Structure 1
Amino acid sequence: MISFVLSLVALVIGYFFYGRLVERVFGPDDRVTPAVAKADGLDYIVLPSWKIFMIQFLNIAGTGPIFGAIMGAKFGPVAYLWIVFGCIFAGATHDYLSGMLSMRHDGAGLPELIGQYLGKTTKNIMLVFTVLLLIIVGAVFVYSPAEILHSIGGDTLMWIIIIFSYYVIATMLPIDKIIGKIYPLFAFSLLFMAAALMVWLFLHWPTVPELWNTFYNLGAATHPDTWKDNIFPALFITIACGAISGFHATQSPLMARCVKSEKMGRPIFYGAMITEGIVALIWATVASWFFYGTPAPGYTLIEQATAGFHTSAPAVVNLVCNEWLGVVGAILAMLGVVAAPITSGDTAFRSARLIVAEWLKMNQRPIPKRLLICIPLFAISIAMLVWQIENPDGFNTIWQYFGWSNQALSVFTLWTITVYLVRNNKCFWLTLIPALFMTTVCSTYFFVSKQFLGLGNDGYPYGAVCLGVAIVWFVLWYRKNNNLKQ
């Protein structure tokens, strides 16, 4: 538990000190924001800052900082290091700067920003990639809450139909009608769940592995039932939303279109990510007790554990909320866990609609034009969902591809921000180092993982080559850019 406390303190300190440094580098000012300049009553609407924070937090949370942290905890307490350092120096920086960059470009979506700084070809590739990722998010974030609701009552298919019906309504309506009204309440539920679990941890002070007791074993995951993958790069793909997530860069523009002043950016974008890191930290500690702690580890209580780790994450959530928080607490906690993925799913579809509309230059005020974009998006997502249901390991498979795609998108976002910082004579090291690190993580995972090329340990040299290529590419581009300025 000492590792947990130190990590918690580090995240809070990171917000106040490193967050302020990142803010100073960007330099927010008093210029008119897109929410005011382009107000349309649909997507560009000024909202109160506290409400934007709650919506942003709920949008980026989903099941990522919960399921990802539970899965990542099987790698041992080294997960704390990734959550803390990843969140402060990569994730929160990524979220803040992508949101502020969108604000500086009239609320532009991520593919438009990528195109402006990485070129038209990259933009077209990432346009397709981003929309597909958002559709996958919608499919993943339907299935997991439907399964959790099924454990409470009703049929899984019934809940899927209800959730998709909600998606259609929420994606089509102005952002202040449903999202602006009920999302803060759901965000409160999710925060209550995290706070209640943190209080439980402090009251019971369970014995869980500490960093200094297991630091000698950083080569592979430490739990006998977990993946056989090495910590690098598997840990950095598994814990995404609690550390850094490319999906967040698709959500930040939604809120960038609702912010009245640029100076509200740090508490909204950087702060929401730090809050998500705290949620991930809490669930990683809870899972550590389940897998390793004393007394009475709870892993044996999960019936599906022998079927593979991924399938047990929802069971951990369900069991913890019911066993630890009492009836009222369990209801509110489960509401937060269910609401988070559902709300992330509908804003994923909303982002996809706006990205496609921006590419087609299609006015979204007329409802038929919104439907024209939404119907194909929903159709593809439903097809993925059907495939998940019909295949015994469908959810796990899609989740793994989602994890890699999610982190790959963060790579392009970080490189986009790095180019922006270089062109504007700002401290580009803030994002260059995370960009190089995540480039190495994603490329290495592509070579070594069974989900892709499956080269195993033979794939590591190729990851190193990709890192070298990225460094050489940046140095050459940087010199060329400086020569052009001169």
Structure 2
Amino acid sequence: MYTFIGGVLLLILGYFVYGRFVEKVFGVKEQRQTPAITKRDNVDYLPMGKQRNSLIQLLNIAGVGPIFGPIMGALYGPAAFIWIVVGCIFAGAVHDYLTGMISIRNRGAHLPELAGKFLGKVMKHVVNAFAILLLLLVGTVFVTAPADLLASITPSWVSFGLIIAAIFLYYILATLLPIDKIIGRLYPFFGALLVISAVGVGVSLVVTGAPIPELTFANMHPDKAPIFPLLFLTISCGALSGFHATQTPIISRTTKNESQGRYIFYGMMIAEGIIAMIWAAAAMSLFDGYGGLNEVLANGGPAAVVSEVSVAMLGAVGGTLAILGVIVLPITSGDTAFRSARMIIADYLNISQKKFTTRLWIALPLFAISIVLTRVDFTLLWRYFSWANQSTAVIALWVAAMYLFIAKKNYWIAVIPGVFMTMATTTYILNAAIGFGLPMNISYILSTIITISIIALFFKAAVKRRKDQLQLDDEPTLAA
């Protein structure tokens, strides 16, 4: 219990201390006009209030990641708490803040465009394909996951296919209509449900004295799966997630003032970390050990854990409300996943999004592909999502590091987590069955060599780009 409560308090402290430090490193300019004002089109670019933007950002980035990921990561024991807290403060929140603020400084640009600017033109094309793949996986996972949960609490005559169709219909509308028409209006209600459900489970854990395990570095996983790199790929959205780099530009296009960035981008990642802590703690404490948790996951997946935890902690009525709160998370990330994919494709092809018909013909093929992907097993989709997700996070951190290096600012705040996650993600890809399937010891050696090579290439390119930047008067931004 002390580890859990202490971890939550550290997350809150991290926002006020390290978050302020990161903000100071970046250098906010309150007088500078944001893209919400300079590029206003009343579809994707338009100014909205700080609280509204923050709530949309939280729901955008949350998904089932800070719930399903920590539930599966709980199999490793309290080591999951360490990654959630440390990862969230020093990696995830830094990642979200820097990608959001750099996007604001570059006309609300998405990650592919930023990668092209700061890592080279080839990377623009690579990251564009990567981002679309990731968003399609996210959108699909966030259709099937809430559909499973809804099916568990709806009458038997409501078919799974009907639920899938209803979710897709909502996603189509949210993707195509101006951001303030559906997303801006519904998210306050969804947000209230999310907060109530998360707080309800968290308070119940403390009040009932749930046997939440204390800090240990031992590997508690029943199958003794290696903590490194698997834990850092399993728990993504609750600690560090590349998906967030695809979502922050949505809000960078609606932020009124740069001074709101820490609250919106860094702060909402901290909030997501707290949600992750709550669900990891619940999973560790309510199933008679890690073997019991493993059995529930094997029989019903993370959705079964959510259902059992919600009912056990809050009763039948409260549990149903909590499940609805969890259902809200993936739905409010799935809609913006497709919206972000539509925006990235439009930016890549330089197509204006003012007309409804142009938005429509870009979005429909995305939904067609996603419908096909819903027939793929969720567990397999999640594995590919984890790999693509953390690879995107690595790219975003190196983009942020390059920006800071060129601007002669403290680039280590992005380089250190970037190096760590490059090593973890590369090791996973080399070792995993869905990757190269190499033995773990060989994967460690090769990933070390690859990581060192990437570091060397980064600094070589960074020194050259800084020299080139000396010819310009302003900080590194995309050409107007």
TM-score using structure 2 length: 0.94
State the distance in 1 between where 2:460 and 2:276 align.
38
Q: How does 1:366-381 map to 2 (within 5 A)?
A: 366-381=355-370
Whether the aligned pair in 1 keeps the contact of 2:296 and 2:305 (CA below 8 Å) is no
Aligned length: 465
State whether structure 2 residue 207 is matched by structure 1 residue 195.
no
Question: 1:126 and 2:127 equivalent?
Answer: yes
CA deviations over 1:234-265 (Å, ceiling 9, x no partner): 00000000000000011100011111110000
Summarize deviations over 1:253-288 as a string: whole Å, max 9, x none.
001111111000000100000000000001110011
Aligned twin of 1:424: 407
- What's 2:476 paired with? none
Partner residue, 1:182: 186
Would you say 1:255 and 2:251 are equivalent positions?
Answer: yes
CA pair 358-205 structure 1, distance change in 2 beyond 3 A: same
In structure 1, distance between residues paired with 2:228 and 2:329: 28
- With 202-211 and 161-170 compared, the bigger mean Cα shift is at 202-211
Cα distance, 1:205–1:189 mapped onto 2, change above 3 Å: same
User: For the structure 1 residues 292 and 425, does the alpha-carbon distance in structure 2 shift closer, same or farther, using more than 3 Å as the test?
Assistant: farther
For residue 159 of structure 1, what is the aligned residue in structure 2? 163
Report SS of the residue matched to 1:325: helix
Find the residue that maps to 1:41 and give its secondary structure. Answer: coil
How far did residue 99 of structure 1 move? Answer: 0.5
Asked whether the 8 Å contact 1:209–1:292 carries over to 2, the reply is: no
Structure-1 separation of matches of 2:257 and 2:443:
47
Question: Which residue of structure 1 aligns with residue 65 of structure 2?
Answer: 64
Counterpart check, 1:442 vs 2:425: yes
- Specify the alignment match of 2:444 in structure 1: 460
1:303, CA displacement in angstroms? 7.2
Give 1:401's aligned amino acid: Y
Q: Distance in 1 between matches of 2:459 and 2:296?
A: 50
Is 1:397 aligned with 2:380? Answer: yes
Aligned-pair CA distance for 1:172: 0.7
* Residue identity opposite 1:362 in structure 2: I
Q: Identify which range, 80-89 or 474-483, moves more after superposition.
A: 474-483
Alpha-carbon distance in 1 for matches of 2:61, 2:455:
30
Instruction: Please give the alpha-carbon distance, in whole angstroms, between the structure 2 residues aligned to 1:430 and 1:305.
Output: 36
Q: 410-419 or 444-453: which moved more?
A: 444-453
Task: Please say if 1:474 is aligned against 2:458.
Answer: yes
413 and 305 in structure 1: CA distance in 2 versus 1, 3 angstrom threshold: closer
Whichever residue aligns with residue 143 of structure 1, its letter is: T
In 2, distance between residues paired with 1:229 and 1:298?
Answer: 13
Q: What residue number does 2:301 align with? A: 312
Q: Pairwise mapping of residues 37-52 of structure 1 onto structure 2 (< 5 A)?
A: 37-52=38-53
Give the corresponding residue for 2:231.
235
Task: Label 1:299 to 1:49 Cα distance change in 2 as closer, same or farther (>3 A).
Answer: same
Specify which of 360, 368, 375 is matched with residue 349 of structure 2: 360
Does structure 2 conserve the Cα–Cα contact (< 8 Å) formed by 1:290 and 1:298? no
Q: 1:7 to 1:303 in 2, by over 3 A?
A: closer
Cα distance in 1 for partners of 2:190, 2:288 equals: 31
Cα deviations by residue, 1:88-123 (Å, 9 ceiling, x for unpaired): 000000001100111111111111111110111010
Name the aligned partner's letter for residue 25 of structure 2: V
User: 1:208: how far off?
Assistant: 2.7
Matched, 1:266 2:287: no
Q: Which residue of 2 aligns with 1:334?
A: 323
Greater mean alpha carbon deviation, residues 470-479 or residues 265-274: 470-479
- 1:144–1:314 CA contact under 8 A, matched in 2: yes
2:406/2:462 contact within 8 Å kept: no
Distance 1:101 1:305 in 2: 39
Partner letter of residue 6 of structure 1? Answer: G
CA distance in structure 2 between the aligned counterparts of 1:468 and 1:124, rounded to whole angstroms: 24
Give the Cα separation in 1 of the matches to 2:5 and 2:148: 32
Counterparts of 1:252 and 1:477 in 2: how far apart (Å)?
Answer: 26
Query: 1:34·1:103 contact (CA, 8 Å) conserved in 2?
Result: yes
Deviation sequence 1:55-106 (CA, Å, 0-9, x none): 1000000000000000001011011110011000000000011001111111
CA distance in 2, matches of 1:281, 1:292: 19
- Which one-letter code corresponds to 1:258 in the other structure? T
Q: Contact between 1:186 and 1:336, CA under 8 Å: does it hold in 2?
A: yes
In the alignment, what sits opposite 1:391? none
Match of 1:299 among 292, 295, 312: 292
Q: CA-to-partner distance for each residue in 1:140-176, whole Å, 9 max, x for gaps?
A: 0000100111111222111001100111111111100
Shift of 1:326: 2.6
Could you tell me whether the CA contact under 8 Å between 1:74 and 1:291 is conserved in 2?
A: no
Measured after TM superposition, the shift of residue 22 of structure 1 is 0.4
- 1:287-346 CA deviation, whole Å, 9 max, x = no partner? 1103455xxx9937x975454xxx421001011112221344223212211111011001
Q: Which amino acid aligns with 2:225?
A: D
**What are the ranges of 5 or more consecutive residues in structure 2 without an aligned counterpart?**
472-480
Q: Which amino acid aligns with 1:223?
A: H
Equivalent residues of 1:186, 1:335 under 8 A apart: no
Corresponding letter in the other structure for 2:453: V
Q: Which secondary structure does the structure 2 equivalent of 1:47 belong to? A: coil
Please give the secondary structure, in 2, of the residue aligned with 1:452. Answer: coil
CA distance in 1, matches of 2:239, 2:149: 24
Structure 2 letter corresponding to 1:382: I
Check conservation: 1:357, 1:363, Cα contact below 8 A: yes
Q: For residue 286 of structure 2, give the secondary structure of its aligned residue in structure 1.
A: helix
Shift of 1:481: 4.4
TM-superposed CA distance for 1:10, in Å, is 0.8
Which of 281, 286, 296 is the equivalent residue of 2:282?
A: 286
Q: Which residue of 2 aligns with 1:15?
A: 15
- Establish whether residue 408 from structure 1 lines up as the match of residue 391 from structure 2: yes
CA distance, structure 2, for counterparts of residue 18 and residue 448 of structure 1: 34
1 CA distance for matches of 2:347 and 2:287? Answer: 46
After TM superposition, the score normalised by the length of structure 1 is 0.93
Report the equivalent of 1:277: 273
* Percent of aligned pairs sharing the same letter: 48
Cα deviation for residue 474 of structure 1 reads: 2.7
Deviation, 1:477, is: 2.9
Cα RMSD for the two superposed structures: 1.7
